[in-house]
Amino acid sequence: MKGKRQSTVEPVFGTLTQFLGLRKINTIGIKQANKVMHMAAMAYNLKKYLKFTQKRVKSGAGMLALLFCLKKRVYKLEKLFLRNFKIANYRDKHTLGVEQEWEDGQ
């Protein structure tokens, strides 16, 4: 059982930690950590898939079509994962308040 685990799971985690920089998950909550792990798994799988398709696809047109398809899918996945996040930039809020005070003072 240990030999099977070493040959299937540990190389994946080794690649994630060494080459993709996933040494620590800096999120709060299980759901956010789960999303990080899913994104890392997708990156690992895309890397393997691209290595496989580069050997298979000989023409430049075929590779271009493949890259376009992958780009669309990654965009959809990114949109799916990040649709619930509301990004608020502190500096924008702070400067907005200062500009309003400055305009009110004139």
Q: How confident is the model at residue 99 (pLDDT cuts 50, 70, 90)?
A: very low
Q: Look up tokens 């780009």; give the residue.
A: 71
Question: Average pLDDT in the 51-65 region?
Answer: 67
Q: What phi and psi, each to the nearest 5 degrees, are found at residue 8?
A: -110, -45
**Radius of gyration of the chain measured on its C-alpha atoms:** 21
Q: Provide mean pLDDT across the span 77-98.
A: 58
pTM of the model: 0.46
Selection from 56, 80, 38 nearest residue 65 by Cα: 56
**Is the model's pLDDT at 25 over the cut of 50?**
yes
Does 44 score more than 70 pLDDT? Answer: yes
Please give the Cα distance from 31 to 94 (Å, whole number).
30
Give residue limits of the domains in the chain.
28-105
Query: Tell me, what's the pLDDT at 54?
Result: 63
27 or 60, which is more confident? 27
